Structures are given as structure tokens and as C-alpha cells.
Amino acid sequence: QACDTCRKKKIRCEPFSDVCAQCIKSKTPCHFTPMSVVRSRRRLTRDRRVEELERRLAWMEGQLRLPLEGRQLPEDLASGTNPKAQDITGLHEYQPTYRTSHAFSKSLGGFEPPEIEESAPVSQTSNITTPSQQKLPSKEKALHLITIYFQGVNAVHPIFDQNTFMSKFDSAYGLDCSNGDPGWWAALNVVLALAYQYWDVPVPDSKEDLEAWGYFQNALAATNQLMTKHYTLASVQALLGMAMMMMAIPHQRPSTLLTSSAIKIAHNLGLHRQYQSPVLSAIESAERIRVFWVAYSLDKDISLQTRQPPTQGDEDMDIELPSENDYGPVQPGGIHHSLFYFRTRLAIIQGQIYRRLLSVKAGKQSASERAMAAEELETTLQMWRTSVPVELFRDYTGLALDGSPSEASRHPLYLQLLYFKTLAVIHESLPFIPWYHEIQSSEVRIHIMSARVTYPVEARSALKLFSVTPRRKLACVWTALHIFITAATTLLVHTISNPSDPWVQADVELLEPFLNLLGIIARSGVNDKVQEMYQSSMVLFQQARIAVEHSGPGANTHRHLGRGDPGARESVEDFLERMEHIKSGDSTGIS
């Protein structure tokens, strides 16, 4: 303890009884102020700390030896006191869970989707050394599934080169490559899963859907390695395949994250640049180009649906478009050889639509500027539409669900639905009637008024595709459901506004099958937003039927429906607000 003088001068104090040597030398009074001693917090003894660590280590070793479903959280995590554990368990909502009623299964031709329980939280799935949870099928069955995949999904999204993939399959199938080559392992499982998911069989089997999600879990277990260590083309292909799998569930955010990760790895590999390594063959270079444009197309499609910025900017790429003749038909009489080429051109237009109509900068434009941008973009879209071969825009009117359309002939459906989806985004950006007179250009004003006439025609054409869309597979239903919702909403609003239109009676008959399926899905409890939307749709549908019944000669075609019901107009506004919420890509909505 130092005296007050030494403490103030910050010098060493040498006390002798009541005084110190420094004060004696300087002949100054020496005084010692008593100070309280703050005892340090008592720490655990070494033995107790070691015992606690051994207890935790023993628990972890025991959990690793248990099956996945039998694992338990430690007491502090299970009690919910750990905030990190609470955040991790929130990831439950993104697991693919399908719970359907008996009525739903009957409507899908006897198919009952698998009831997949919510998987364990991420904090419980610590067995990362064994990514395989689903045993691979025999080589003969795997070859059959791979053939189905290349004739179906890969014909629309050519992620893989068939010859390259089959060469790898012949040499590596049956070998344990989950650790040595996780990219190939994940890609193989994704191909098997996608083949099951989009295979439209006459008699669906729920066991096959369980196997599909099992293969998907195999691939998903390798995502950490794909995103952190193994930056290969196979990693990009596997992530894109998983993103396509997740697009068939009601939540959109998982597919967004997977697509963004695939594009970032593609940047690392230089897939977005025109320069290609001279050591690559022509086949390898063409495959890299196709993989990038598949990622680009999915990115732009998700961007329009979620109203969020795309990962790939058009200013940061100089890769050429795939050749129109680069991807041949799958089989004689199969899909048109240029389907993928026109899909990539449409994706470029989708990117322009987001930048000029949906971005933050676009939101600050005046009504006149937005209308002019919408007119230019629609002109560009219509030029694209006229350049598409007639084989890719077939008229399916009158064809039954299980009639003449073959698996290959249904592929253009995807392009036609995407066209209407893109057109719908443009029309949603047009100013409403109160802001119509603010537009100075007379040509733009004429375009807006004519667009409100032609848009229902396109919606009618899109909704006709519902009759030939396979409904036995939930993946097909969920992938296209939001597009059919947009078309149905457009026709319902058009019918209410124009009840004397000669097409409204046919529109009501066209809407009934879709609303019936929507009601079955709503009653199954698959998604809460679907139930809300169905209830609002039926209110609007009943108003449309009443309007059609009361619209005779001399009737006022512009009257408001449900005039006797004071809440009728409000229900329509609530419905449109809910529809806009769903179409904006909310994570709890459908996708």
C-alpha cells in the first residue's frame, strides 16, 4: 500500500512504520489512507471445470452414436434459454412438409403426397461426416431415372451435358464418392430426385416421392462442402438442381439462397466471362455456357416473383447467348430445339423489367416515366413473342388432362406460362385510372387503355393451359400455381368490370376447374395463404356470376357489383391486396 503523496506522484513508496522513505527525503507529511480490498470472484476449481468438460464431451459422443431421429438437445438448449438455438430452430419452416386431405389425394388421380415430418433443427443434425441418408437405387433403376430426367427436366433446364454425365455415371456409380467428390455426389442425387419429382406417371406412388426427398436430403447434406471448399462446375449444377427442387414448395426463400450461392460459385469459376480456358473442349465450354444461362434464368425468374434484386447484374457479364441450334431435340417429335435459346432471351427481358419497373430507382419515377418504360418493355416482349416458333406456343384448347399431350409436348407450357407471368409484371406497373391523366404522351395513354383490353385475352390464354398441366405431381402444381392465380384474378376483375363482355360466360366456365382445385388445396391445409386466397376468390367469383346474370340488354355494364352489400367493394379490395401480397413472393405465401 502506498501513501497519498507517492500515489499522487506515481512513484514507488517505501513505507517504514507510519512514514515512507520518499516523504522523509522530501520532508513532506506522510499519510496512509485506508483502502477497501475488492476480492476477486471465486472461479471454479480446476477439478470442477474438467468434470464439466468431460460431461459435455460424453454427451456429444453419445449423440453421434445415436440415430438421427433419436438425438436430444442438451438441457440448456432444450429449455429454450439459448438464443442461438432458438434462431436455428426457426429454420423448420423451410423443410418440405406436405400434409394433404383425402379429398386432395382423390383429385390428383389417387396420388397422396408424402407426409414428411419436420426434420430436426440444424443444431441436432451434427452428423456431417455421413451425408448419405437415402440408399441409392440399383444401377439399372438409376439409369432409368436418369433417362427420364434428361428427357424431361433437363430438356427445359439443360444443367448437364448428357454424354458427360453418363460417362461419369458409368465409371463412378456405386463408388463411395460422397467425401472424395461431393459435387458429383450431390449432382447425382439431384438428378434422381428431379426425375421422381416431375415424372408424370399414370398411377402415382407416394413411396416414390419419399425417395425423391430422400435423394434431395443426400444432396443437401453436401451443401456446406459445395459452398466452402469444392468450387467446381458440378457444385454449381447440384445447387441449381436443388433450387429447382425447392421451387416446388410453398416457400421461395430456400430456392433464392441456393440460386444465389450457385451464381457466386459460377463467378469464382469465371462462367460469366466470355473468355474460356484453352484447355477446355468445345463440349465442356458449351456446357459451362448453358449452366450459366440456366442460373441466370432462374435468378431473373425468382427476382420478378419475389420483387427482390437479382444476384447477377447485366453489367457484370459478357458471356454470349447459347446458340439457337446448340441444344438439339431430345427425341424425334420432341421439344423444339430452340426452347432454351428463347428462354434465355426472355430472361434478359425479365432483368430489364426489374431494373426499369421494380428497382428502388424505378420506384422514384413519375407516373409518366413508368408508363413509358412499361410501353417500351411490352413492345420488346411482344417482339420476342413474335420471334418464337409456333411449335413453342401451341394451342391446347380442347385437349384433356390425360389426353394427347405427351411429356415432351408439355415442355413449351413452361415458356408460355413464363411469358404471361412476365407480361403480368409489366401490366401491374401501369398507372391506375386516377393517375392516367398525368401522362402527357397521347401514344402512351392510348397504349395503357388498349393494354387493359388485351391483357385479359392473354390471361384467358394462360388459364387455358391449366387443363393440360399435370396435376398428379405437386411439383407441377406448386411451380405454376402463382401464374394461374394471376390469370384467374385478372379474369375475375375483368368480369366484374365488364359483365356484358361476350367472353365472360366462357371465362366463368374456364375459372371453375381451377377454383375447384384451389379449394381442395385450401381444405387440405397445405398452406394458410391458399385458404385465405380461396375464400376471397370465391367471394369475387360469386360477384362475377351475379354480374353476368344481371347484365342484360340495356343494363349498366359499369355498375358496381354487390350494391346491396355494403362490404362487397371492400372484399374486392381486400382480395386484391392479398393477391398482391402473394404475388410479391412472401415467404409464407405460395410460390
203 and 267 together in one domain: yes
Would you place residue 326 in the very low, low, confident or very high pLDDT band (cuts 50, 70, 90)?
Answer: low
DSSP assignment letter at 354? I
The answer to the question of residue 81 being in a domain is: no
526 and 463 together in one domain: yes
Where a domain ends, among 285, 316, 347?
A: 316
Q: What is the pLDDT of residue 301?
A: 94
The answer to the question of residue 469 being in a domain is: yes
Q: What is the CATH number of the domain that holds 26?
A: 4.10.240.10
The answer to the question of residue 120 being in a domain is: no
Would you place residue 473 in the very low, low, confident or very high pLDDT band (cuts 50, 70, 90)?
Answer: low
Determine the straight-line distance between the first and last CA of the chain, rounded to whole angstroms: 74
369 and 308 together in one domain: no
Please, what is the average pLDDT of the chain?
Answer: 75
Tens-digit pLDDT profile for residues 374-392: 889 999 999 999 999 888 8
CA distance 301 to 307: 10
Over range 284-299, report the average pLDDT. Answer: 94
308 and 416 together in one domain: no
Where a domain ends, among 286, 301, 316?
A: 316
CA distance 77 to 58: 16
304 and 369 together in one domain: no
382 and 523 together in one domain: yes
Burial bucket for residue 400 (CB in 10 Å: 0-12, 13-18, 19+):
exposed
150 and 212 together in one domain: yes
Question: Which residues does 473 contact at the CB level (< 8 Å), separation at least 6?
Answer: 111, 197, 198, 199, 200, 204
Q: Which residue has the higher pLDDT, 173 or 442?
A: 173
The answer to the question of residue 56 being in a domain is: no
163 and 303 together in one domain: yes
CA distance 348 to 331: 28
309 and 384 together in one domain: no
Where a domain ends, among 316, 335, 356?
A: 316
CA distance 504 to 495: 6
307 and 417 together in one domain: no
The answer to the question of residue 375 being in a domain is: yes
Residue 496 pLDDT more than 50? Answer: yes
Lowest mean pLDDT among 131-135, 409-413, 436-440, 500-504: 436-440
Tens-digit pLDDT profile for residues 564-585: 343 333 344 454 455 455 445 4
249 and 385 together in one domain: no
Residue 445 pLDDT more than 60? Answer: no
Q: What is the pLDDT of residue 521?
A: 81
The answer to the question of residue 339 being in a domain is: no
The grid coordinates of residue 321 equal 447467348
Q: What is the pLDDT of residue 41?
A: 56
The total number of structural domains that make up the chain: 3
The answer to the question of residue 206 being in a domain is: yes
Lowest mean pLDDT among 17-31, 33-47, 71-85, 454-468: 71-85
278 and 187 together in one domain: yes
Q: Supply the range of the domain harboring residue 554.
A: 364-583
Percent of the chain with pLDDT over 90: 24
Under 8 Å between Cβ of 265 and 235 = yes
Question: Which residues does 271 contact at the CB level (< 8 Å), separation at least 6?
Answer: 233, 236, 288, 289, 291, 292, 295, 319
Q: How do 19-20 and 15-16 pair as beta strands?
A: antiparallel
The answer to the question of residue 323 being in a domain is: no
